[in-house]
Structure 1
């Protein structure tokens, strides 16, 4: 990986940046009935994404293993050359993962280009390496880090210290959305740049507490429909005004190993 894009490098089986997880997150197939998958880097937990146009380097982006964006989904061709197959982007299976001008050297970027039967650089083999990679990704994704480095300098109107909630897998933080009634988003977390839209505070007390917008104690994190058995496993989290009778507005932040 160079500059946030995927590139060739001398083989090193001990380098986690050279390990890729073929993750089949959703049951979606291409026009040839081939199953889709994402290619997720073991070191960064980021996925290969289709570039804006053919000929540009393949970028790496934050990966959502629960609901991946279609721009990070790929398929394999049915035909093979001695076990090697073409890796195609789901959005246009005529575009193939390759290198420019058949160049194979350290630092050569991967990109998308139309299929060319004469180019051996458009054929790949995906082989198993470590069965624990998926468990590692699953363990990281639902884990959040309470980052309170700004707490000494940023406080709300009641004097409570602010903090960010940063996802362990993606490095992105929970961000206020469009306001009450809307779901929250994930924003880029830069520890060297203060973005107040990423900051929250807890109510006083112990156990389950409110998580509030740091500069408006009346607006809280709210798990929509989490009290319904139909939505409990995938409730959306958004912002709402305080409702003292709702347990969906109370959270318990605790340490994990």
Structure 2
């Protein structure tokens, strides 16, 4: 917020030499240069920390910096998006956190510049309703982020404080208290407080963090749930798989502390993610889509925004009780075949991108890095977040799937390897009762092998039904997500409406698209 240039820091002396005593700056807006950016109680002195400026720049090449309040040690942090106020968080100068990094634009007139997010230069600091049409700046005007509107309330200067900053303050007004002195044993002017345990995240040491290098945790053999580092609040949540259209045989995983793609392996906890929607009702992107965090089951870390286009996303420890917009994402509308863009909640123009995963660059491979990139309509920017279907871990379901698959396989297994016959499930029994001639097309559910490996034990009738439903391309392979969708569709008892829709599909009485739509509506 803004306050007048009164300081209330008479007890502070000019900063001495040393790294913690850098010169301080005042930050003010062209809408009214008589006001300065402050935290509270006239704390108008800021450090402009440029330590990351040589290697971190925005897309126009301007160097990044953090704005740290001298009195509180708090840094100005990106907000959730347009119209949301910026926030303050504890600052750790040794940790590179892009959510507290800003850049200045070119001169927009009289030496003023825009101050914008390092990874979204289209959102600028804005003195909310500080333009003339809204009455101008006043004591307590909030600072938000807003797209460039060419207003004076979006034009800023960051200038060093001169000798006037250390002049004795005027006496407090009648009935008001002066700004309190610093706590005992605290060095005046030193504002870099250590952060809480959960913020900002520290790089985990490789020798004692399971999930980095795939070493089991010390103190006993791995048992059930080995590798699960999820916070207690998420421990019972179902996990999801994240895949890219560029190659649906790969899933998002964590490897050596980085986010990448790897061949799908349902038994690898590093490929299991929790889609935490706890903030979805209150936080949405500018298109109204709900926000979520993606938390890895094996490490307990969440995917965090990168520094900007072409930079890889990162992993940070996740605290579900702390609202941190830098780990929040949203999904776009459908961009084809159920795939969507996954983008930053406060910059929907930067999307997940399987780096060089498009056909022109050779496609996805084991270890493909995930970066942020503007929408290029590539298959390597289209994603699905689907529940893991762990029915292969259930012995009964595994036997049932194997039975119905191999009995209709073009090359059935030798009799010695076939499981004993099992009773028809309720779905198949209902199908036989209502339309016996079509029963074989729905009696056997789509099947993954009981163990890992490619899908091959799928009957012609099953594949035919999948194609009619639009879950499998006309000449495309049967994928794991197609199986998941099929199982979800037929997980409920079959109704008369289901049967009519299925019959319409195979009899041709309705076009396949309309019949499939009717079947989905029935479900």
Output the TM-score relative to the length of structure 2. Answer: 0.25
Higher-RCO chain (CA-CA 8 Å, sequence separation at least 6): 1
**Higher CA-based Rg:** 2
Say which structure is richer in strand.
1
* Higher fraction of helix: 2
